[in-house]
Amino acid sequence: MIETARSNSVLLSVRICLNSGAFVHLVVVALVLLNVDMSTDNDPNVRVYTIVRWLLLTIWFNFVFLTYYPICIYCDWMESNGRWEDKRAHVLRKIRDVVMTSILLPTTLYCDTLFWRTWNNDRALIAPVGIFAYLPHWTHHSLHTISGVLVILDLIMVPRKRPPSILPGAIITTIFTSVYTATVAVSYANGIVVYAVLNMFSRYQVWLLILMSYLELYFFYTLQWCLIDIVWGKKTEIKNEAKKF
């Protein structure tokens, strides 16, 4: 299991403010995007995005964030009030750490870096270009820049330590990714193209893309533990480092 050390009052206050702001920001972005209506567009490929948007990986991990931030705020608030040993807070801390390290961090960094690489080369590979006229440009940064910054800040502000084995977390990453991949595949089989690239690539290229996606997710998952070791030190050092932060 992932272990987390106690934090001092300053760090707790910073985290509570940051996570509260992140939650409000995400709610605002969600409200803006939910009010975007593409159903009357002349292009059927754009109209279908009224449904497709719920299948995007970005939407999936942001829904997870909407649950994650309140859990973080609650855990830090309980700790700041001297209730570190509370059973509910203890369970939620475990859930928080697993969700961040196994799902949110690797998925967010993968999605954000892939989005901007593709956006700067050929945005038609992401979606029909007509949909981008409906989306304020700042929402792209809200969903694909700020999200990446926030997971990195979480990584360096929460005093975690590497578990005895990172394999269980990698399995959770694999399960989440496989469920999402299967969802996209089933949607495609039913005539719903979640990503435009699926109609542009050959079957061989699609399988290669899937393989590269898994490898990139594993890369980010593994990299975070190296960064945690650098920021928070080894197992015997984490408690002292947390106190000094």
At 237, the pLDDT band (50, 70, 90 cuts) reads low
pTM of the model: 0.90
d(CA 105, CA 103): 6
Residues near 30 by beta carbon (within 8 Å), at least 6 away in sequence: 62, 66
> Are 47 and 39 a contacting pair, CB within 8 Å?
yes
Which pLDDT score, from 0 to 100, does residue 14 have?
A: 97
For 223-236, the pLDDT digits (tens) are 999 999 999 886 54
- Please tell me what DSSP assigns to residue 42: S
Give the residue-averaged pLDDT of 64-86.
95
Domain spans of the chain, in order of start:
3-160+167-244
